[in-house]
């Protein structure tokens, strides 16, 4: 294995196009891409994978933006998502109630969760795909009595805390 000198201890995800095809931390040729958005992320070798994951998560924590695909299988949120995949009431801006579904991963825009101080939104789309919007978990809870409120509370609590320690580790590694 080639010995390489460490160039970076900590990174911020950036464009992966037109960049060197080697680990951004150490320069090793053996690398994979870890992405926070299409073509935005960190290139790292297996040895620095943990750092790439930490720095990508810290970036998402700081921006309050989480790709749905990163968390959709987590036990703390999977129960709620099962209900939303089947359909749940959403209020349109006109005030009209419609039954929408959770944005599928193949939806034309990559689905994201947005974190605010007190609650998070989940990406919902009209059944025919003609409209989409982020909907707060507490709104889904209020409009959909068929969903156990505890599932909503658990998901919201989980997402509000998510990647906090990754951000702390990322900041600590900078010093
Ligand atoms: Zn490396």
Q: Ligand 1 centre from 85 Cα, in Å?
A: 39
Q: Is the pLDDT of residue 159 over 80?
A: yes
Whether the Cβ atoms of residue 100 and residue 133 lie closer than 8 Å to each other: no
User: What is d(CA 155, CA 88) in angstroms, rounded to the nearest whole number?
Assistant: 16
Q: Rounded to the nearest whole angstrom, what is the distance from the C-alpha of residue 156 to the centroid of ligand 1?
A: 35
| pLDDT of res. 31 | 92
Which tens digits make up the pLDDT trace of 93-138? 899 999 999 999 776 778 999 999 999 999 999 999 899 999 999 9
Expressed in angstroms and rounded, the spacing between residue 36 Cα and the centre of ligand 1 is 19
Residue 101 has a pLDDT of: 97
Domain definitions of the chain by residue range: 14-63, 68-161
Q: Which of 42-51, 55-64, 107-116, 117-126 has the lowest mean pLDDT?
A: 107-116
Neighbours of 175 (CB within 10 A): 6
Calculate how far, in angstroms, residue 68's C-alpha sits from the geometric centre of ligand 1: 27
Give the number of other Cβ atoms within 10 Å of residue 117's Cβ. Answer: 6
How many angstroms separate the alpha carbon of residue 169 from the centre of ligand 1? Answer: 18
Q: How far is the CA of 7 from the centre of ligand 1 (A)?
A: 9
Instruction: Give the pLDDT of residue 4.
Output: 58
Q: Which of 22-31, 36-45, 58-67, 102-111 has the lowest mean pLDDT?
A: 102-111
Q: How far, in Å, is the centroid of ligand 1 from the Cα of 50? A: 10
Nearest to 100 by CA among 110, 91, 115, 87: 87
C-beta pairs of 47-55 under 8 Å, 24+ apart in sequence: 47/23, 48/23, 51/9, 51/10, 51/11, 51/25, 51/173, 52/11, 52/25, 53/166, 54/166, 54/169, 54/170, 54/173, 55/10, 55/11, 55/12, 55/13, 55/170
CA 25, CA 47: separation in Å to the nearest integer?
10
Q: Which two tokens stand for residue 105?
A: 């991963």
CA of 9 to the centre of ligand 1 (A): 10
């Amino acid at each position: 294995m080639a010995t390489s000198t460490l160039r970076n201890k900590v990174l911020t995800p950036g464009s992966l196009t037109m960049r060197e095809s080697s680990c951004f931390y150490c320069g090793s040729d053996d690398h994979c891409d870890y992405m926070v958005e299409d073509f935005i992320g960190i290139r790292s070798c297996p040895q620095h994978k943990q750092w790439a994951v930490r720095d990508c998560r810290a970036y998402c924590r700081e921006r309050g933006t989480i790709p749905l695909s990163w968390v959709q299988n987590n036990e703390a949120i999977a129960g709620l998502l099962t209900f939303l995949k089947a359909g749940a009431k959403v209020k349109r801006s006109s005030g009209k109630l419609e039954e929408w579904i959770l944005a599928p991963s193949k939806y034309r825009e990559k689905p994201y969760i947005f974190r605010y101080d007190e609650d998070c939104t989940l990406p919902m789309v009209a059944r025919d795909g003609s409209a989409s919007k982020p909907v707060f978990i507490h709104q889904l809870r209020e409009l959909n009595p068929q969903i156990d409120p505890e599932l909503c509370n658990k998901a919201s609590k989980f997402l509000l805390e998510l990647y906090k320690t990754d951000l702390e580790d990322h900041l600590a590694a900078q010093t």
